[in-house]
Structure 1
Amino acid sequence: MIPTEHLGKAIDELAPRNRPIMLHASLRSFGAPIEGGVDALLDAFLAGNRTVLVPTFTEPQFGVAPPAGLRPVRNGIDYSELPAVPTIPEGAPYTTDCGLINPGLGVLPAAVISRTGAVRGTHPLNSFAALGPLAGELISAQSPSDVYGPLRELAAHEGVIILAGVGINRMTAIHLAEHQAGRRLFLRWARNLHHQVSMVEVGSCSEGFPRLGPILRPHVRTAVVGGSRWQAFPARQTIAAAAAAIRADQSITRCAEGDCLLCRDSIAGGPMTT
């Protein structure tokens, strides 16, 4: 059993008080149960007047097939494998109080959105949610056409990105760096509140992001809690360093899958809508 005081000690070493934290965490990485479970972990990060920001994506629940008239080229999709006129499934559109989340994100984001006071973004596929004193300010920066606004605000507030037992391939903020390096974000499809299908911005393949490790190493601070290795990165400096590296060598984010369409189109600059 991992005592809660071990959590607090590591957090105080890595994350200044009164600052926002972008948190990616794997509870399995601890190798033993946490005293108090996921809620104790979340409370430990919220202590010290911190704000916790997490991804609360919902592609499986609210993504729809691309209509024939909304299929930009170089968009990370082979449209030839899709029906020319896809069937758009019926269903309710995304709302910030839907309570749904991509199960692959783990239990921590689910714990965040279940809390009173949590604020969740309006992006139907790649929302973020936050809890703490800066939650409203971070999340108000997001819209369907500005998916990574909360990450810009995280950097503006000198926030920290913490990877707790996960790798750099889970660092969502690098998608913002891609955009700042000149890449256009991929476009996907969701039904809006008027039940019309529209395009929204999303990220690319992240499996090649660990290749940025040597670039980001000067900024990282580490701690170990149980079996979980934590890495903390200052958001503003990390995003800037990643953007500069991508700008200098667009292929640096290419994953090991030689035929990855997402990597190919992202490195080429992203979708072309005209």
Structure 2
Amino acid sequence: MIQAGHLRRACGDLALTGRPVIVHASLRSFGLPLHGGADALLDALLARGRTVVVPAFTQPQFGVLPPATMRPARNGVDYTALPAGPAAQDGPVYDAGCGLINPSMGVLPATLIGRPGAVRGRHPLNSFAAIGPRAAELIAAQSPADVYGPIRELAGRDGAILLIGVGLDRMTALHLAEQRSGRRLFLRWARGAGGRVGMVEVGSCSRGFARLEPVLAPYARTTTVGASSWRAYPARQALDAAARAIAADQDITHCPDRGCLACRDSIAGGPVGPPLAGGAPDGGITRRPRPAP
């Protein structure tokens, strides 16, 4: 069985003390039962002053079909395959306190958003959530028109990217590297607080990110816990290296499916049209109250 001490030692091996860390984790990767489950892993990650950031996406729950007037070209969407007729006039509106999460995000993000003191962005489809000393300032950087603001802020604060038993295809930060390479992010649709549909930024296909392995390997610190391979990258250096590699060879991120529409449109530069501006649903943050002492 994996004990809390094993987790704490792994964090020490990776020199993560006092740093904000964006974490992508598979609990199944340990190969053995984890005593205390995701709560034990989160506690170990939070020790020694660390702030933990996770993706807390809700695209399937709160995404809506695009209105006919909001369909930019080269946007990773085959509009002809969408249902005919106007989009529904009402539907659920995302709230940062909703407690919902895409199940594919895994157990750790679901555990984090339920903790007192957790902070979650109001991006209706691709929110990030965080807990720890720097949580509020990191998440405050996110808006529907700046989806990866928390990652940019984390990198600027000497933060790290930690992969626990998962590959580069789960490294959300690489979408920011795509943007820095000159690509525009894709646009999707959600309802704002008043029910008005607007466009928001999201990432593209990530299945080809494993091709960046030779570029990022020199920056990785590694350790193992049970059967789980842990890799930590300094966020700023890793993002800079990935952005340079993508700018030099845009095809490097193409996934194995050579007909992938998302990869094709992203590599070509992303959506065509004016930059996303005030038409996006309102952004902001919410904080869960801490329990009374």
**TM class, shorter-chain normalised?**
over 0.9
Higher deviation after alignment, 229-238 or 87-96 = 87-96
Quote the offset at 1:156 in angstroms.
0.4
The residue that corresponds to 1:218 in the other structure is 218
5 Å-filtered alignment, 1:30-179, equals 30-88=30-88, 90-179=90-179
Distance, in Å, in 2 between the alignment partners of 1:89 and 1:158 is 44
CA distances 1:39-72 after superposition (whole Å, capped 9, x unpaired): 0100000000100000000001000001101000
**So what's the TM-score if we normalise by structure 1?**
0.98
Q: How many angstroms apart in 1 are the aligned matches of 2:89 and 2:257? A: 31
Which residue in the other structure is 1:230 paired with?
230
Shift of 1:89: 6.6
Displacement of 1:84 after TM fit? Answer: 4.3
Q: Report SS of the residue matched to 1:158.
A: coil
The C-alpha deviation readout for 1:184-224, integer Å capped at 9, x for no partner, is: 00000000001000000000000000000000011001111
Corresponding residue number in structure 2 for 1:6: 6
One-letter amino acid of the structure 1 residue matched with residue 256 of structure 2: A
Paired residue secondary structure (1:151): helix
Any conservation in 1 of the 2:90–2:195 contact (CA below 8 Å)?
no
In the aligned structure 1, how far is the partner of 2:82 from the partner of 2:225? 46
How many angstroms apart in 1 are the aligned matches of 2:248 and 2:199?
29
State the aligned residue count: 274
The residue that corresponds to 2:256 in the other structure is 256
Q: 1:86 to 1:29 in 2, by over 3 A?
A: farther
Match of 2:281 in 1: none
Name the TM-score, length of structure 2 as normaliser.
0.92
Distance (whole Å) between structure 2 residues aligned to residue 61 and residue 194 of structure 1: 17
Question: What CA RMSD, in Å, does the superposition of the two structures yield over aligned residues?
Answer: 0.9
Q: Structure 2: which 5+ runs fail to align?
A: 275-293
**Mapped partners of 1:199, 1:120: distance in 2:** 20
% identical aligned pairs: 64
Unaligned runs of 5+ in 1: none
Q: Within 2, Cα distance between the matches of 1:207 and 1:86?
A: 32
Deviations 1:225-261 (A, max 9, x none): 0110011110000000000000001000000001000
